Structure 1
Amino acid sequence: MSDDADSLFEFPCAFPLKIMGAASDALVQAVLEVVLRQAPDFDVATMEVRSSSAGNYLSLTCTINATSRAQLDTLYRELSSHPLVKIVL
């Protein structure tokens, strides 16, 4: 039985990650580094960047080609522990 047997997802699948943090170019760069390390086939041009109404925060959406539950767990762990990232959904 594979690790993905109890997962609600069938891999591979398109999986959107929403990452929020204080508005800065450093946040965008840090998120890209983590995402590309774990999902090297991620197309950087597809990343969506939205600014909060006051411009203090950024919301980044990266839709990756998820290949396993372990990959998603690692991404969430790395992104959540980054000092520039406030929330990962």
Structure 2
Amino acid sequence: MKTRFDEFLEFPCRFPFKVVGYTDPALIDEVVAVLQQHVPGDYSPTSKDSGKGTYQSITVDVNVESKEQVEKLYQALSEIEKVRMVL
């Protein structure tokens, strides 16, 4: 991944990840499990369902240490089966 996070952010910092996936009660737990593998911590994600209820978005703030860590988290979160995109 060739991103420019390091040009715009000063690390370490809090970084919000928004994960959009198919609505499933287990999706929040799966997102937090991936985050715990890479950046253990106490997470309080928020969730919002789409208008028709097909999708849900999960937002969670993570303390990140580097551009590489942000890229790794984007990759790991996007590999969750129910996830459609990570913003």
TM range (shorter): 0.7 to 0.9
Instruction: Give the structure-1-normalised TM-score.
Output: 0.84
Give the superposition deviation at 1:26: 2.3
Moved over 2 A (4+): none
1-structure distance, mates of 2:20, 2:80 = 11
- Corresponding pairs, count: 83
2:54 counterpart of 1:56: yes
Post-superposition Cα deviations, 1:21-74, rounded to whole Å, max 9, x if no partner, equal 000022112111111111212x22x21111111111110001011111111111
Stretches of structure 1 lacking an aligned partner (at least 5 in a row): none
Cα pair 1:21 1:57 within 8 Å, conserved: yes
Instruction: Give the structure-2-normalised TM-score.
Output: 0.85
Question: Considering only CA atoms, is the larger Rg found in Structure 1 or Structure 2?
Answer: 1
Stretches of structure 2 lacking an aligned partner (at least 5 in a row): none
Paired AA for residue 24 in structure 1: D
**Root-mean-square deviation over aligned CA pairs:** 1.6
Q: For residues 24-63 of structure 1, what are the structure 2 equivalents within 5 Å?
A: 24-41=24-41, 43-44=42-43, 46-63=44-61
Secondary structure of the 2:78 match is helix
Which residue of structure 1 lines up, in the alignment, with residue 12 of structure 2?
A: 12
1-structure distance, mates of 2:71, 2:7 = 12
2:79 counterpart of 1:81: yes
